[in-house]
Amino acid sequence: MIINSNQEKELFLEAANISVDILRQLGESIKPSITPLQLDRLAGVFCKRYRVKPAFRRVKNYRHNTCISVNDVAVHGIPKDIPLVKGDLVSIDFGIYYKKIYTDHCWTWSIGSPNKRNSKLLEVGREAVERCIPLAIEGNYTGDLGFEMENCATSNGFNILKMFTGHGIGKTLHDHPDIPAFGKKGSGTYLKEGMVLCIECQVVDGNGEIITDSDGWSARTKNGGNSVMFEYMVIVGKKSPILLTDTLNWGTVL
């Protein structure tokens, strides 16, 4: 979607603020012994409280409010009824449907202090996406963002998943353009002012190959290495982007 008015911009900011507030409360609810399924149900409670609808429930054949991916599950994790434990890496991917527009963003937390490898994974996963936020300006290309994400991951000894991408968003959950977490500078889709984007990346401790669980959704690393995911919503600007889901000051350790 391309925003054409201040009214549309304000609507996206309003929706994003609600979405961030709900995800923040979900993160604050993560603790040992709680299950992802309980967190998912809590997301439904928060959505009702804010009088919004969970975006992911509008996806065909998906019956949950969130995707919650734990440890080696990289993306699209079905919320399971299995208690979380200290040391788990927990990614909550969440969005809302509000006044006919969608939001979509993700954050990963460690329950308690992570080991050295997981600490580095969290740091790099976050940096890979946050480096791209200033690049969301007119004149750049999706390949500029993808190059930055892959380079950040691989230069630090990790990999990215190539089969899942960031995307545009607006009146649909996944809109034009796709934003792969890899690419060449100056390649891909030209970024125009007003485009609303979800910049995301799954950074994995492994070779980047995945397998899908029997639930048909949860994609986990083939080698069993852990994964983290971070995702931000931005509006492409002329000289600087507008950050919609401002979670830059969030921590990753609970």
Predicted confidence (pLDDT) per residue in 168-182, tens digit: 999 999 999 999 999
Nearest Cα to 200, choosing from 95, 130, 118, 97?
130
Amino acid 31: pLDDT: 97
Token pair for residue 124?
A: 């790099």
Amino acid, single-letter form, for residue 83: P
Amino acid 210: pLDDT: 96
Amino acid 235: pLDDT: 98
Amino acid 141: pLDDT: 98
Per DSSP, the three-state class of 89 is: strand
| Cβ within 8 Å of residue 159, ≥6 positions away | 153, 203, 204, 206, 207, 208
C-alpha to C-alpha distances, 92 to 11, 104, 185, 226, nearest whole angstrom: 24, 11, 30, 15
Token pair for residue 98?
A: 């509000």
Predicted confidence (pLDDT) per residue in 61-101, tens digit: 999 999 999 999 999 999 999 999 999 999 999 999 999 99
Q: 100 burial class (0-12, 13-18, 19+ CB within 10 angstroms)?
A: exposed
Start-to-end Cα distance in the chain: 35
Does domain 6-243 bear CATH number 3.40.228.10?
A: no
Amino acid 146: pLDDT: 98
What's the pTM value of the predicted model, to 2 decimals? 0.97
Q: Enumerate residue ranges in the chain where pLDDT < 70.
A: none
